[in-house]
Structure 1
Amino acid sequence: MSAQTKVRNLLDEAGTSFATEAGISLANKPSPLYRLSVLSVLLSTRIKAGIAVDAARELSQWSTPQRMFDATWQQRVDALVQAHYRRYDESTSTALGEGAELLLDRYGGDLRKLRSKANGDPEEVRRLLMDLPRLGPVGADIFCREAQLVWPELRPYFDTKALNGAKKLGLSTEPDELARHVEGHELARLAAALVRATLDRSLASALS
């Protein structure tokens, strides 16, 4: 099976972005970008991806930093518990409140201002994102992996977890080489599919 065929099969089987799965219609607008940052925080802990996605859906009622900040700590905890995000519910509620406050103070609640501050430098985007509580290197990678759909300067963005999936499937682990198999707007989907290949042995086995 050629690499191109393998990539197309992977996209057909597992090419839904994590943002889409969480009900986020990603666009270069404040609310969906903020919701992506929340999802990235949730996905970066040692918890199943499906639970993190469900938690992001529960938290979507607070779709802006101001709304998240205005919600009570207990309201956020209750939403996380509702999605079975129990192991980190209290600390995550605290982190989300503090993160919302930071975004309001530093960027007026608009992550596009963080993008402008980074001036087209993907590493600077990543560094600035990591100022958010609980959004460490893993979370910043998740955000950039998904945000490359709407922030083209991040392309191609394949983090370690995505590249591990590529290796499992016998594909190149060079980002530029992987990117040649898809159009620019498909890169986020490919990255998400490769992550799923890392997480799901049966998927990797079926496609390798």
Structure 2
Amino acid sequence: MDAVVKKLLRESGKTVAEEAGVPLKDQPAALFKLLVVANLLSARISSEIALSAARELFDAGGGTPRGMRGLTWQERVDALGRGHYVRYDESTATRLGETAELVQDKYQGDLRKLATAAGHDPKKAAGLLREFPGIGPTGVDIFCREAQAVWPWLRPYIDSQAKKGAEKLGLPQDPDKLAAQVPGKDLARLTAALVRVARDKELAATVKAA
């Protein structure tokens, strides 16, 4: 493994899901939580606030489609407020309720069925993900970057932000060549770290000093 990649993973190799307190597993609750995280991070708001809001929602019982649907709109608003997700709290509370309904009704509460419906095709999966309210290209990228940890058929999922981070560090931008830098199970960690590098000059400089 390249020395820069080793240092990058050591300095910043935590997935976004892990930051939100979600150990990624190929299980319904973990995948739904990842979808919620992707939804919250899609807004023009800091990642710290989005992840704090996610943790508040999960603590309130919104960590499953049934649980999220069971919260009242006001309970979702209140949880978002406790996470300081205040600029978009009302519209997001509505979207998350609609998202839970769709996951429950279309996929019986299990997003693994979305993978099956997509025929394990990344482009088709992206189209299905965009059916969820609030999930656009950014949300798709967040979900797929992270989900490749447990859905090998998504690999290598290297979006434009991860490529930008790779460019800053002098790493390959070709998806296959970049993916070859780490074992498949670590690719989600690598892409999460590269996205941070793309947005953080100080982190980029620290890692390049490897």
TM-score (norm 1): 0.97
Instruction: Name 1:114's counterpart in structure 2.
Output: 114
Instruction: Name 1:168's counterpart in structure 2.
Output: 168
Correspondence 1:122-201 to 2 at 5 A: 122-201=122-201
Matching residue's letter, 1:26: L
Q: CA deviation at 1:154?
A: 0.3
Matching residue's letter, 2:160: T
Matching residue's letter, 2:104: L
Matching residue's letter, 2:118: A
Q: CA deviation at 1:45?
A: 0.9
Coordinate RMSD, CA, aligned:
1.0
- Whole-Å Cα distance in 1 between the matches of residues 173 and 89 of structure 2? 35
Matching residue's letter, 2:57: L
- Whole-Å Cα distance in 2 between the matches of residues 170 and 158 of structure 1? 15
Structure 1 position 15 matched with structure 2 position 3: no
Q: CA deviation at 1:150?
A: 0.4
Which consecutive segments of 4 or more residues in structure 1 shift more than 2 A?
none
- Whole-Å Cα distance in 1 between the matches of residues 48 and 169 of structure 2? 22
Matching residue's letter, 1:76: R
Q: CA deviation at 1:95?
A: 0.4
Q: CA deviation at 1:58?
A: 0.7
Unaligned 5+ residue runs, structure 1? none
TM-score (norm 2): 0.96
- Whole-Å Cα distance in 1 between the matches of residues 114 and 49 of structure 2? 28
- Whole-Å Cα distance in 1 between the matches of residues 102 and 27 of structure 2? 18
Deviation track 1:119-151 (CA, whole Å, cap 9, x = no partner) reads 110111111011000011110110000000100
Q: CA deviation at 1:168?
A: 1.2
Deviation track 1:22-45 (CA, whole Å, cap 9, x = no partner) reads 100111110000000000001111
Matching residue's letter, 1:151: W
Instruction: Name 1:27's counterpart in structure 2.
Output: 25
Instruction: Name 1:48's counterpart in structure 2.
Output: 46
Matching residue's letter, 1:46: R
- Whole-Å Cα distance in 2 between the matches of residues 120 and 67 of structure 1? 27
- Whole-Å Cα distance in 2 between the matches of residues 49 and 162 of structure 1? 16
Q: Give the secondary structure class of the aligned counterpart of 2:75.
A: helix
Instruction: Name 1:92's counterpart in structure 2.
Output: 92
| Count of matched residue positions in the alignment of Structure 1 and Structure 2 | 206
- Whole-Å Cα distance in 1 between the matches of residues 169 and 86 of structure 2? 33
Deviation track 1:171-202 (CA, whole Å, cap 9, x = no partner) reads 11111111111000000000000011012110
Q: CA deviation at 1:160?
A: 1.1
Unaligned 5+ residue runs, structure 2? none
Q: Give the secondary structure class of the aligned counterpart of 1:106.
A: helix
